[in-house]
Chains A and B, each alone.
Chain A
Amino acid sequence: MDRIDSTLSGRVALVTGAASGLGRATALRLAQSGAAVAVNYSRNQTGAEAVAGMITDMGGRAIAIRADVADKAAVDAMVANVVAELGGCHIVVANAAYSENATLFELTLEQWNRMFDVVLKGTFLCAKAAIPHMLEAGWGRIITISSDAGKKGGQATGPHYSSSKAGVLGLMMGLARQLASMNITVNDVCPMDIPVERWEGRSRERLDSILAGVPRGRFGSPADIGAAIAFLASDEASHVNGTSIDVSGGAILL
Chain B
Amino acid sequence: MNSGTHKQLAGKTALVTGSSRGIGPAIATLLGAEGAAVGVHCHKSVSAAEEVVATIEASGGRARVLQGDVGNENDVERFVSELTDAFGPVDILVNNAGINHFVPIFETTEADFERLVRVNTTGAFLCARAVASTMRDRRYGRIINVSSDCGKRGGKVSGVHFSASKAALQGLTRSLTRQLSPFGITVNDVAPATILTERLDATLTEEQRAARTSAIPIGRMGRPEDVAAAVGFLASDQAGFITGASIDVSGGARIA
Contacts and interface: CB of A to CB of B under 8 A. Distances in A.
Answer yes or no: are A and B bound together in one complex.
Answer: yes
B160 A167 contact: no
B224 interface: no
B174 interface: yes
Given A116-B117, A121-B110, A153 B164 contact: no
B168 A164 contact: yes
Contact of B105 (A104, A149, A168, A175): A175
Given A105-B129, A128-B108, A178-B156, A152 B168 contact: no
A128 B122 contact: no
Contact of B160 (A150, A157, A171): A171
A129 to B, nearest CB: 11
A157 B172 CA distance: 12
B165 A104 contact: no
B163 A112 contact: no
B154 A176 contact: yes
B172 A159 contact: yes
Q: Is the interface of A mostly helix, strand, loop or mixed?
A: helix
Contact of B154 (A127, A150, A242): A242
Contact of A155 (B128, B166, B179): B179
Interface in A228-242: 242
Interface in A143-183: 149-155, 157-160, 162-179
B217 interface: no
A170 to B, nearest CB: 2
Contacts of A242: 153-154
Contacts of A128: 105, 108
A109 interface: yes
A14 B48 CA distance: 50
A75 B15 CA distance: 40
B45 interface: no
Contact of A177 (B151, B155, B168): B155
A174 B163 contact: yes
B211 to A, nearest CB: 17
B175 A154 contact: yes
Contacts of B117: 116, 120-121, 167
A41 interface: no
A4 interface: no
Contacts of B177: 153
Given A113-B122, A164-B171, A121 B155 contact: no
A172 B169 CA distance: 15
B140 interface: no
A113 B104 CA distance: 24
Contacts of A103: 179
Contacts of A175: 105, 154, 160
Looking at A105, A112, A152, A159, the one whose CB has the most chain B CB atoms below 10 A away is: A159
User: Interface range on chain A: under 10, 10 to 19, 20 to 34, or 35 or more?
Assistant: 35 or more
A244 B178 CA distance: 23
Interface string B143-177: 00000001111111011111111111111111111
Interface string A87-127: 00000000000000001110101001100100011001101
Nearest to A146: B171
Nearest to A165: B171
A153 B175 contact: yes
B160 A178 contact: yes
A112 B161 CA distance: 17
A251 to B, nearest CB: 16
A153 B243 CA distance: 12
A61 interface: no
A72 interface: yes
B65 interface: no
A124 B161 CA distance: 8
A167 B168 contact: yes
B179 A170 contact: no
Given A167-B121, A172-B154, A179-B105, A104 B128 contact: yes
A88 to B, nearest CB: 19
B155 A174 contact: yes
Interface of B: 73, 104-106, 108, 110, 113-114, 117, 121-122, 125-126, 128-129, 132-133, 136, 150-156, 158-180, 244
Given A104-B129, A104-B180, A164-B168, 20 more contacts: A104-B128, A104-B132, A120-B168, A151-B174, A153-B171, A153-B173, A154-B178, A158-B175, A163-B121, A163-B175, A166-B170, A167-B165, A167-B167, A167-B168, A171-B164, A174-B105, A174-B150, A178-B104, A178-B105, A178-B156
18 contacts: A104-B129, A105-B132, A105-B133, A107-B125, A116-B168, A120-B164, A124-B113, A131-B105, A150-B171, A153-B171, A159-B176, A163-B175, A168-B164, A169-B171, A170-B164, A173-B153, A173-B154, A242-B153
